[in-house]
């Protein structure tokens, strides 16, 4: 059993005993139990030279067909009886005799004879269903037995012991069953009545086809970068739909027969204990058959669950190779395991067999598989290639079909690590030479005061002496040039050189990043790429992610998908958070030639989601709070500030005067790096302390208590922290009540008091309390509740997740991906969405977004474009729509430095998100309606986009849908259903238009005149006028109006003629014609009424969050 769980608890797992591990290292294959299945098919007979009888079967086509011809060749030494019998097995019955034939041979002794026999089978075995044969059967196997029995002539008609087992000569062969829908129809030689024949012909074409199903399953078909973390790919298998395959699977539960083939590129052996390669977890969250791990020496550790309930483990005598592609094949049969290592050329390198003392227990539907790491074990540091699983068959290496598909990427990975080995060796040796030279120089300085002054005030010395050849220096000339410019005497480089290579990689990256963020930085991209490659090779994988984005988007270079994929994989394997999120997003959406794979996406997202929870408890590192700030939201942009900004200075002034709200907001901004303020935990703690002491604000008191409990930036003071926490709890603050429960749980181990406080806090709506109660149930320490209760724990975790609790959300996503919890049916898509939601709160991503926003506010366009592209490629929606906005605002910049169509690409990405803003739907709707550059028009997609914006509550969506109808187009029925518009009530276009305009007005600002209110008024006027035109009053009204018009005209001309004197000519007034209002119709569509009012609510929520410092 594993170690006891720590809050939050992890579920226990089986560990193989150390003694067993040593015992089975060189396993002797002699412990397998004997079963019917392991008995040899052909029994061994005693050799007797007197027996010369034999019988052979020859069949041209070994299929179950009617009138199949069998050639029986035999020889009898005595008068004999020759027997033929066909035995069939179906889904419901086994060992059924379906054909028998026998004949005697008394005269032809010691002579080989041949006889042709035509087999006859029941019609339900060889023909398709028809009007007469209603239920043909699925045949699993048919065995044709042939044997010879010695008989006297007088005993031929007497029942004697003539069975197969007592025969003097015998043989058998297998016949291949034909699936029911591949069989021919039988000619019954009868004439059906016309009605019966017609009815049958109608049914004949409706025979359901069997589902195409195979026992060969591709668990993984794309390269997976495993960073060695406790996350991996989760796969769950259901029962076969094909009844024949499912019957075989159930029969093999107590005698399993299956094969697994895994391609690997291993970077390191396991650092400690065991690392997961592939293993099965049962419903009790225990290791089951099989569990394959890698140990510290590189040997394969295989643990199996036996029929009687024990677990036994073995390890191979050969180790797995590093930094080369190989295939690990494992086959399991009964109680035997075969392990093989195969190279890229498919030649076997190593092979080993193990036989256990009893058969394995194996039900692959009762639990789930994990490839890589999980909550119970770290994964291996490697790249997984294709993984193939044969559920019902044991295959030899030559029979396995599991090729390496993406050979170009496979070769690129090999070349990358070969080059990086050279780079790392050069950096290490160069630093060693420089440091040795500096030691010699320092010794000289101590003897010469003049040399010491030169060293102190003169130029930095450079090493121009090389021990490397000219060819190597030319190949890595940029690296050598950078090394010459570096100062290796800095104290941050350790003396033993263990971090030297990584430190050099970081320095190279910082130099490149500074260059790219300058005024015309992106124009230097061509010269920056080689430096980023060197930085990546030194293990600094921020550079790897930069390269991935540069090549995938064509940022300053030509698009190169292969290199983009390479550096995405390398960065993710190196645990660079943004690179991991990038791969998770691409597999979630299935874009940029990445296959749609939700399980693979979850493996990446869950990695960063787990880190997000840990990162939030760490005040160090380049982190910032992830804020939803949109570049088209002027109000939020005005609220951004800096330490010398007006907003910050005003808050500081108010906080100094004792304003509790100002102190609280100021501390939050400094602690988390919000609203444009640089992260400064030390300054934040000062304001927390000042507010807690000077004011009675419970939130400030609670926040300062948290800081004192955890010792974040200050010395721990549990006594004062407890006093403050009790004070805040007495004021009714829910999180403070939860904090007291946390104190009793962690410091006093008083679970009863902890549960009491958490129950009170949970009733007050605190999600942390819900999560903590779940941990009590999961660990089995809830007072008054015996044992663990995962079901109740999961319900509390779900309630916490609904309240935004990060760990609760993460646990629920795990339940959805495994499907091992009764209240959480397996739903990989929901698991990905929940894990993605947590991952996108990561502080390192927030730092990149904040740098992009600050650059935009300072009009540093190159830096803003660079960092928004980096953030957008991770899949976070706010950066995608912001990047599209920048590309619209500065199209010249986008065209010059981005090879992809920036506006189309990122608005398209935005609307594919769960939390897409309505204005992105409107943009894409316009693009589809009018056509965008090389993108063709698509009316239906345009209507769908407008409808989605309408569903988000955007009045412009309803307005655009109405305009589409005004132009003579119709809205599809499924979209009206989606909008919940009753088509029975609004069957006419007039009624439907009225409903759309009314909803447009209802979702807009009703206190002011909006385009929707004007459109609705204009619609009512048109309806009123049309109704008047169709009435009988039109004649009266027309006559009346015409009479008035004629009267006014006559009066007007009379007055003119009276004023004009004789001999003069009046000059008529000239009026300018007015333009039609319809000419602005296209412009009207693109106008969004008061767009800022439709910004995402999350932006305001994030900017007004209470202090997220909570006890978990």
Long-range contacts of 999-1006 (CB under 8 A, 24+ apart): 999/950, 999/955, 999/958, 1000/955, 1000/956, 1000/958, 1000/959, 1000/962, 1001/955, 1003/950, 1003/953, 1003/954, 1003/955, 1003/958, 1004/955, 1004/1089, 1004/1090, 1005/1089, 1005/1090, 1005/1093
Helix axes 525-537, 407-447, angle to 10 degrees: 80
pLDDT at 1069: 35
pLDDT at 1012: 83
Per-residue DSSP letters for 574-585? TT-HHHHHHHHH
Q: In this structure, what token pair is assigned to residue 87?
A: 């035995």
Give CA–CA dist 820/281, Å, rounded: 10
Give CA–CA dist 322/324, Å, rounded: 6
Query: Is 251:240 a contact under the CB 8 Å cutoff?
Result: no
pLDDT at 1067: 37
- Do you find a cis peptide bond into 771, omega within 30 degrees of 0? no
Q: Exposure string (b/e) for 261-271, b if CB count within 10 Å is 16 or more?
A: bbbbbbbebbe
Query: Is 844:623 a contact under the CB 8 Å cutoff?
Result: yes
pLDDT at 1081: 35
Give CA–CA dist 536/530, Å, rounded: 10
Query: Is 255:359 a contact under the CB 8 Å cutoff?
Result: yes
Per-residue DSSP letters for 498-541? TTHHHHHHHHHHHHHHHHHTSTTGGGGHHHHHHHHHHHHHTT-T
3-state helix, strand, coil in the chain (%, to 5): 45, 15, 35
pLDDT at 135: 75
Strand, helix or coil for residue 396: coil
List of residues 6+ apart from 626 with CB closer than 8 A: 840, 841, 842, 843, 845, 846, 849, 876, 1102
Mean pLDDT by 10 residues, the chain (1112 residues): 34 36 33 30 39 86 86 91 90 83 88 91 85 78 90 54 82 86 80 69 57 85 95 94 85 92 96 93 92 95 92 94 96 94 92 93 94 94 96 92 91 94 86 68 49 54 56 77 72 53 90 90 90 93 96 93 96 96 96 94 96 81 85 82 71 70 73 70 72 77 82 79 88 91 90 93 93 93 89 94 93 94 92 95 92 91 94 95 94 90 93 91 93 86 94 91 91 90 86 89 76 82 72 60 68 58 37 36 33 33 35 44
- Do you find a cis peptide bond into 395, omega within 30 degrees of 0? no
Per-residue DSSP letters for 985-1031? T--SHHHHHHHHHHHHHHTS-TTS--HHHHHHHHHHHHHHHHHHHTS
Radius of gyration of the chain (CA): 40
Q: In this structure, what token pair is assigned to residue 143?
A: 């065995």
pLDDT at 268: 94
Query: Is 704:691 a contact under the CB 8 Å cutoff?
Result: yes
pLDDT at 202: 62
CA–CA distances in Å: residue 945 to residues 593, 897, 923, 924, 989: 25, 29, 8, 7, 20
Only one residue has tokens 């094909």, namely 242
Q: How far is CA 432 from the centre of its chain?
A: 43
């Amino acid at each position: 059993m594993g170690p006891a769980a720590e809050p939050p608890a992890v579920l226990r797992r089986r560990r193989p005993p150390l003694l067993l591990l040593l015992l089975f290292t060189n396993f002797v294959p002699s412990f397998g139990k004997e079963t019917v299945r392991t008995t040899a098919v052909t029994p061994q007979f005693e050799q007797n030279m007197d027996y010369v009888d034999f019988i052979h079967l020859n069949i041209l086509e070994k299929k179950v067909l009617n009138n199949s011809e069998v050639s029986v060749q035999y020889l009898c030494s005595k008068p004999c009886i020759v027997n033929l019998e066909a035995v069939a097995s179906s889904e419901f019955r086994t060992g059924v005799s379906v054909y028998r034939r026998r004949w005697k041979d008394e005269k032809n002794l010691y002579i080989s004879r041949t006889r042709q026999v035509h087999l006859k089978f029941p019609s339900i075995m060889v023909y398709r269903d028809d009007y007469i044969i209603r239920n043909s059967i699925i045949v699993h196997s048919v065995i044709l037995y042939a044997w010879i029995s010695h008989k006297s002539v007088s005993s031929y008609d007497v029942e004697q012991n003539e069975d197969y087992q007592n025969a003097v000569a015998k043989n058998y062969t297998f016949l291949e069953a034909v699936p029911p829908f591949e069989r021919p129809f039988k000619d019954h030689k009868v004439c059906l009545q016309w009605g019966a024949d017609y009815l049958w012909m109608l049914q004949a074409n409706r025979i359901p086809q069997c589902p195409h199903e195979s026992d060969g399953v591709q668990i993984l078909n794309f390269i997976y970068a495993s960073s060695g973390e406790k996350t991996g790919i989760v796969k769950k298998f259901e029962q076969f739909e094909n009844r024949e395959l499912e019957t075989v699977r159930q029969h093999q539960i107590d005698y399993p027969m299956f094969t697994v083939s895994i391609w690997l590129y291993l970077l390191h052996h396991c650092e400690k204990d065991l690392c997961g390669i592939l293993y099965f977890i049962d419903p009790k969250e225990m290791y089951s058959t099989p569990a394959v791990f890698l140990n510290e020496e590189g040997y394969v550790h295989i643990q199996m669950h036996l029929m009687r309930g024990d677990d036994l483990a073995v390890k191979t005598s050969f180790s797995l190779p590093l930094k080369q592609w190989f295939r690990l094949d494992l086959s399991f049969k009964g109680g035997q395991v075969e392990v093989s290592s195969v190279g890229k050329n498919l030649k076997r390198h190593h092979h080993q067999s193990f036989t256990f003392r009893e058969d394995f227990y194996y039900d692959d539907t009762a639990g789930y598989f994990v490839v890589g790491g999980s909550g119970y074990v770290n994964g291996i540091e490697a790249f997984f290639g294709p993984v193939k699983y044969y559920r019902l068959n044991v295959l030899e290496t030559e029979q396995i079909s599991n090729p390496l598909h993406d050979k170009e990427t496979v070769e690129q990975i090999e070349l990358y690590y070969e080059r990086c080995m050279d780079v790392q060796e050069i950096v290490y040796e160069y630093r060693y030479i420089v440091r040795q030279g500096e030691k010699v120089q320092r010794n000289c300085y101590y003897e010469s005061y003049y040399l010491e002054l030169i060293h102190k005030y003169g130029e930095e010395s450079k090493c121009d002496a090389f021990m490397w050849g000219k060819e190597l220096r030319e190949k890595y000339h940029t690296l050598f040039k950078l090394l010459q410019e570096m100062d290796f005497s800095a104290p941050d480089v350790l003396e033993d050189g263990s971090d030297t290579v990584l430190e050099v990689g970081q320095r190279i990256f910082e130099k490149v990043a500074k260059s790219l963020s300058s005024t015309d930085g992106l124009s230097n991209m061509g010269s920056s790429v080689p430096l980023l490659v060197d930085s990546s090779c030194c293990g600094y994988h921020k550079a790897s992610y930069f390269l991935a984005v540069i090549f995938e988007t064509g940022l300053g270079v030509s698009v190169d998908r292969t290199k983009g994929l390479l550096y995405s994989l390398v960065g993710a394997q190196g645990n660079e958070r943004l690179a991991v999120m990038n791969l998770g997003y691409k597999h979630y959406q299935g874009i940029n030639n990445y296959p749609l794979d939700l399980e693979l996406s979850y493996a990446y997202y869950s990695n960063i989601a787990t880190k997000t929870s840990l990162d939030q408890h760490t005040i160090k590192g380049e982190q910032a709070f992830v804020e939803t700030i949109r570049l088209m939201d002027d109000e939020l942009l005005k609220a951004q500030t800096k330490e010398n900004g007006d907003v910050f200075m005003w808050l500081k002034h108010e906080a100094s005067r004792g304003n509790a709200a100002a102190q609280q907001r100021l501390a939050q901004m400094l602690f988390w790096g919000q609203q444009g303020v640089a992260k400064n935990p030390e300054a934040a703690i000062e304001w927390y302390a000042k507010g807690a002491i000077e004011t009675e604000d419970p939130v400030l008191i609670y926040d300062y208590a948290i800081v004192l409990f955890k010792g974040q930036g200050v010395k721990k003071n549990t006594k004062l922290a407890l006093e403050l926490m009790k004070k805040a709890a007495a004021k009714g603050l829910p999180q403070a009540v939860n904090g007291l429960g946390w104190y009793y749980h962690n410091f006093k181990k008083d679970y009863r008091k902890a549960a009491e406080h958490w129950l009170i806090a949970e009733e007050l709506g605190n999600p942390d309390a819900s999560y903590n109660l779940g941990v009590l149930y999961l660990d089995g320490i809830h007072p008054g509740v015996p044992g663990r209760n995962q079901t109740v724990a999961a319900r509390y975790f779900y309630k916490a997740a609904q309240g935004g609790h990060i760990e609760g959300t993460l646990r629920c996503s795990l339940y959805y991906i495994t499907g091992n919890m009764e209240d959480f049916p397996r739903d990989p898509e929901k698991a990905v969405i929940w894990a993605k939601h947590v991952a996108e709160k990561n502080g390192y991503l927030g730092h990149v977004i904040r740098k992009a926003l600050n650059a935009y506010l300072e009009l540093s366009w190159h830096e803003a474009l660079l960092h928004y592209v980096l953030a957008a490629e991770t899949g976070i929606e706010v950066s995608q729509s912001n990047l599209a906005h920048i590309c619209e605002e500065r199209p010249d910049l986008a065209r010059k430095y981005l090879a992809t169509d920036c506006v189309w690409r990122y608005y398209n990405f935005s609307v594919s998100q769960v939390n897409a803003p309505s204005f992105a739907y409107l943009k894409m709707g316009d693009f589809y309606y009018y056509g965008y550059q090389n993108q063709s028009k698509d009316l239906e997609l345009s209507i769908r986009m407008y409808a989605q914006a309408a569903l988000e509550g955007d009045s412009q969506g309803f307005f655009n849908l109405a305009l589409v109808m005004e132009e003579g187009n119709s809205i599809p029925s499924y979209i009206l259903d989606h909008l919940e518009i009753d088509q029975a009530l609004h069957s006419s276009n007039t009624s439907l238009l009225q409903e759309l305009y009314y909803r447009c007005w209802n979702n807009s600002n009703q206190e002011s005149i909006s385009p929707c209110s004007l459109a609705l008024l204009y619609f009512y006027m048109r309806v009123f006028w049309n109704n008047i035109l169709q009435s009988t009053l039109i004649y009266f009204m027309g006559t009346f109006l015409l009479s008035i018009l004629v009267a006014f005209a006559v009066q007007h001309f009379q007055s003119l003629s009276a004023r004009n004197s004789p001999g003069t000519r009046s000059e008529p007034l000239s009026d300018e014609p007015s333009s039609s209002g319809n000419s602005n119709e296209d412009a009207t569509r693109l106008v969004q009424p008061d767009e800022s009012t439709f910004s995402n609510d999350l932006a305001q929520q994030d900017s007004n969050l209470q202090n997220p410092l909570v006890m978990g």
